[in-house]
Amino acid sequence: MATNGSSRFFETLVHSSADIALVADPDGTIRYANAAVALFGYTPDDLVGRNLRDFVHPDDQVSGATNVRAALGAGGSALVEWRIKDRDGMWVPVEESLTDLSDNGDVGGLLISIRDIADRRVAEQALVDTQTRLVVALEASRMAVWEIDFSTQEMVVSPNFHEVYGFTPDRLTGTYLDFLHLVHPDDLELLRRTVRVTGQDDVFALDYRICSPEHGVRMLHGRGRRIRDESGQLSRLHGAVIDVTDERRAERRRLEAEQTFRRTIEATSDGFIGVDAAGLIVNWNASAARIFGWTEAEAVGQRIDDLIVPPELRSAHRSGFSKAVADGQTSLFHAGAVELTGLRADGSRFPVEVSVVIVEQEGGLRFNAFVRDVTERKATEALLARQAITDELTNLPNRALLNDRFQRAKERADSGGRLTLLFVDIDHLNVVNDSLGHDLGDQLIREVADRILGVVPATDTVTRFGGDEFVVLTDSLVAARGASGLAEAILQAIARPYDLAGHRMTPAVTIGVAMAEASDARLDELLRDADIAMYRAKAQGRNRFEFFEITMREQAQQRFELANELRQALDGNGLRLYYQPVVSADGTIVSTEALVRWEHPDRGLIHPGDFIPLAEETGLILPLGQWVLETACRQAVAWRRDLAPTLGMAVNMSVRQLSQPDLVGRMESLLGASGLEPGALCLELTESALMEDPVKSAETLGRLRTLGLSLAIDDFGTGYSSLHYLSRLSVQVLKLDRVFIESLDTEANRAIVGSTIQLARALGMTTVAEGVETAEQRAVLIELGCESLQGFLWSKPVPADAFEQLLRHPGDWSR
């Protein structure tokens, strides 16, 4: 050991050092040990004089300290790791620095400084363990880590790196440039920039694509940190990378789906409202804003019930909502659309249809509601429901509702009670429609409806049955008034004159009444009976009512059969024309009137009075009238050619024929086809037919006149028209009805007939007296100035061949 001052200093230093210090002879004999050997449980005295070999693990002994010394060379030193046996016999790993002391003066040997490295070994083992775990974790997470040293361009990667990048381990030779070859060309620039950019901190993250040799194009997510040297220059990079291809794809799909969803929601005309489990609005689309009047900004964050549920319904809504939250997906809310009352921003309420979808979301349950304003639909539904049972024009119940009312009236009626049904038909509605237009016709219907309603007790039912028909159903007829009282009241109410757009009208209705015991009343039967009674009333002159009688049903049945037979007669040659002469004052036949007869197979000859009304009702009058016209014209042509060149032919026309739209054209072709000179044909129209629609009649007659034929007023005197009015109808002949002729025996009537004849002549008309039966009548009429005469005095209507005889052999009719 050192004896001089400096040796002493070192000795003290060594002695107090925390590291163990030993000095050994070249043969390994320990000469000195410091106090630190206590670390191994020894005292210096335990060791001095012993050989190192006794303490060093046999495997670690290099063949003795001498050899070590030789290895070190003179004055050399070495660092070795030996295991040293402690006092308890345990091997403790140590790091030893060996220094050759041989050139150090008198004393040769080794200085051995020992540091206990057990802790470091543990730490190192821990590090290895950690690294192993890290590698396992990296593999499991499919995350690779790497480090790049920019000074060498070397790239160190985790063992699983090639798996993440998808290539065989030998492909990456270990440089950054090699790695860059893997990166998708389009992302190379991004990667380079991101890696090198100097940012706030040196952490970076990016997504980039690689062209993976095995998996094709993949999307990777990398994160890393830049390491800089003292001058701030980028020296290294290290980081981790993970394949996110599938995640990104899924994410993109989710985003697209969400975007599609959002766009759809925004575009939908339905309101879309998302509500969280707390009842707060989280979604509110444009349609919701339009429907409720709250903007998205106003609505989101509000309680749904406060915003759009009317106050009186809020508590019900809240409890329903809590229940839905509790029930979750199984909530009844799911059950489809429900109709609720919504509240708008302006405080108004309206019907909404709501369908709710309950979904589980991160923040809990989400109630997605589609909301539709169904105000219009409800209104339409209500309208349709009302229309189904209501007549649109009059707002009265319609036919469909009548049945229901009838059943109720039946149930309500006491035993022995009666039900009464009135069938009310507006007279001549078609005339108003044709002449004044359908709008005014509709107005007339409404007016009639109002007037009927005005007199029928409120508990009874007034229905519009069809075009011009109303049905009144009553079970409450007051005894004093009865059904006839009600019918009378209706007639009177309707007869009040009425101003229809400047046209003064006197509307009228015809009523048929039928009654039945409530207990066995049937609606269809009552309707049929009332209808029959109504027809009877019409036949008797309209503007009146008739009670149904059982005989009417038989008659109706007969009429039905008769109509069928008439149709057959028309088709099968069963009709005949009879002719009655019209003579001048001197007894010459000037013309003839064609009068139709029906030769019935069983009942013989039937006179027109018994079937013309039926033909008019059934519409058969049109083909019948056409047949009469054709036959009469043909006959007239023949007689004028063979027997009487100036003979006139008069044909009766019914009102239905007159209102045919193509009447003038028909007449024109008829004249053309028969070759009859128009002036020889005279059409007879009754005064009442013309008065049904005076305006239209005037027009039609004017047009007929342009064809050159002549027109006669038939049955003059039975109606109420003035001669002055008739003169404006371009009529040439006035046929004085038989009632005048019959009454000629009084002076007063003679005066009336005389002045009528004079007036007619003054207005440019000639007069024909009808039904002249006696020579006296003939004499008076001639004296009064009557130009033509017709009647049994000369001849009854006779078949064509008989009439021909009259033409060939005229009797002496001058007296």
Is the Cβ of residue 274 or residue 797 nearer to ligand C2E in the bound state?
797
Question: Is there binding between residue 687 and Ca ion (CB under 5 A)?
Answer: no
Return the one option of ligand C2E, Ca ion, none that residue 612 interacts with (CB less than 5 to 8 A, by type): ligand C2E
Run of H or E residues at 186: helix 185-196
Run of H or E residues at 8: helix 5-16
Q: Give every CB contact of residue 628 below 8 A, 6+ residues apart in sequence.
A: 575, 577, 594, 596, 651, 652
Question: Is there binding between residue 207 and ligand C2E (CB under 6 A)?
Answer: no
What is the C-alpha R_g of the chain? Answer: 63
Question: Is there binding between residue 715 and Ca ion (CB under 5 A)?
Answer: yes
Binding segment (CB under 6 A) for ligand C2E, from list 237-245, 447-455, 536-544, 767-775: 767-775
Question: Is there binding between residue 714 and ligand C2E (CB under 6 A)?
Answer: yes
Return the one option of Ca ion, ligand C2E, none that residue 791 interacts with (CB less than 5 to 8 A, by type): ligand C2E
Question: Is there binding between residue 47 and ligand C2E (CB under 6 A)?
Answer: no
* Contact (CB, 8 A) for 654 and 714: no
Tell me the C-alpha distance between 249 and 218, whole Å: 10
Tell me the C-alpha distance between 639 and 635, whole Å: 6
Is the Cβ of residue 371 or residue 628 nearer to ligand C2E in the bound state?
628
Smallest distance, Å, CB 628 to ligand C2E? 4
Is the Cβ of residue 220 or residue 769 nearer to ligand C2E in the bound state?
769
Question: Is there binding between residue 482 and ligand C2E (CB under 6 A)?
Answer: no
Count of alpha carbons within 13 Å of 115, Cβ hemisphere only? 9
Question: Is there binding between residue 187 and ligand C2E (CB under 6 A)?
Answer: no
Question: Is there binding between residue 595 and ligand C2E (CB under 6 A)?
Answer: yes
The residue whose two tokens read 């609505």 is 299
Question: Is there binding between residue 589 and ligand C2E (CB under 6 A)?
Answer: no
- Binder to ligand C2E among 285, 390, 398, 652 (CB under 6 A)? 652
Is the Cβ of residue 285 or residue 580 nearer to ligand C2E in the bound state?
580
CA dist list (Å): 462 to 344, 472, 479: 41, 5, 20
Question: Is there binding between residue 607 and ligand C2E (CB under 6 A)?
Answer: yes
Q: Give every CB contact of residue 206 below 8 A, 6+ residues apart in sequence.
A: 190, 191, 194, 221, 222
* Contact (CB, 8 A) for 310 and 341: yes
Q: What is the DSSP string of 32-59?
A: EE-GGGGGGT--HHHHTTSBGGGTB-GG
Instruction: Provide the edge-to-edge strand list for the sheet that holds 143-149.
Output: 154-157, 143-149, 234-243, 216-228, 203-212
Question: Is there binding between residue 791 and ligand C2E (CB under 6 A)?
Answer: yes
Compute, in degrees rounded to 10, the torsion defined by CA atoms 328, 334, 335, 336: 170
Binding segment (CB under 6 A) for ligand C2E, from list 248-256, 664-672, 747-755, 784-792: 784-792
Tell me the C-alpha distance between 758 and 763, whole Å: 9
Return the one option of Ca ion, ligand C2E, none that residue 654 interacts with (CB less than 5 to 8 A, by type): ligand C2E
Is the Cα torsion angle 171, 173, 179, 184 positive or negative in sign?
negative
Q: Describe the chain by its helix, strand, coil percentages, rounded to 5.
A: 45, 25, 25
216: alpha, beta or left? (left if phi > 0; alpha if psi -120 to 50)? left
Return the one option of ligand C2E, Ca ion, none that residue 560 interacts with (CB less than 5 to 8 A, by type): none
Return the one option of ligand C2E, Ca ion, none that residue 158 interacts with (CB less than 5 to 8 A, by type): none
- Binder to Ca ion among 684, 692, 693, 804 (CB under 5 A)? 684
Question: Is there binding between residue 100 and Ca ion (CB under 5 A)?
Answer: no
- Binder to Ca ion among 652, 654, 659, 777 (CB under 5 A)? 652
Q: Give every CB contact of residue 497 below 8 A, 6+ residues apart in sequence.
A: 504, 505, 506
Is the Cβ of residue 237 or residue 650 nearer to ligand C2E in the bound state?
650
Is the Cβ of residue 274 or residue 625 nearer to ligand C2E in the bound state?
625
Question: Is there binding between residue 160 and ligand C2E (CB under 6 A)?
Answer: no
Smallest distance, Å, CB 614 to Ca ion? 18
Is the Cβ of residue 684 or residue 693 nearer to ligand C2E in the bound state?
684
CA dist list (Å): 630 to 235, 585, 792: 124, 30, 26
Tell me the C-alpha distance between 118 and 126, whole Å: 12
Is the Cβ of residue 109 or residue 771 nearer to Ca ion in the bound state?
771
Question: Is there binding between residue 628 and ligand C2E (CB under 6 A)?
Answer: yes
Smallest distance, Å, CB 692 to ligand C2E? 14
Is the Cβ of residue 461 or residue 795 nearer to ligand C2E in the bound state?
795
Tell me the C-alpha distance between 755 and 717, whole Å: 13
- Binder to ligand C2E among 283, 543, 654, 659 (CB under 6 A)? 654
Question: Is there binding between residue 771 and ligand C2E (CB under 6 A)?
Answer: yes
Tell me the C-alpha distance between 35 and 20, whole Å: 7
Question: Is there binding between residue 609 and ligand C2E (CB under 6 A)?
Answer: yes
Residues in contact with ligand C2E, shown as a per-residue x/- string from 682 to 711 under the rule CB under 6 A: --x---------------------------
Binding segment (CB under 5 A) for Ca ion, from list 22-30, 93-101, 253-261, 769-777: 769-777
Q: How many residues does the chain have?
A: 815
Return the one option of ligand C2E, Ca ion, none that residue 427 interacts with (CB less than 5 to 8 A, by type): none
Question: Is there binding between residue 767 and Ca ion (CB under 5 A)?
Answer: no
Which residues does residue 193 pair with via DSSP β-bridges, in sequence order? none
Tell me the C-alpha distance between 406 and 417, whole Å: 13
Return the one option of ligand C2E, Ca ion, none that residue 596 interacts with (CB less than 5 to 8 A, by type): ligand C2E
The site for Ca ion (CB under 5 A) is made up of: 652, 684, 714-715, 770
The site for ligand C2E (CB under 6 A) is made up of: 580, 595-596, 607-609, 612, 625, 628, 652-654, 684, 714-715, 770-773, 790-792, 797
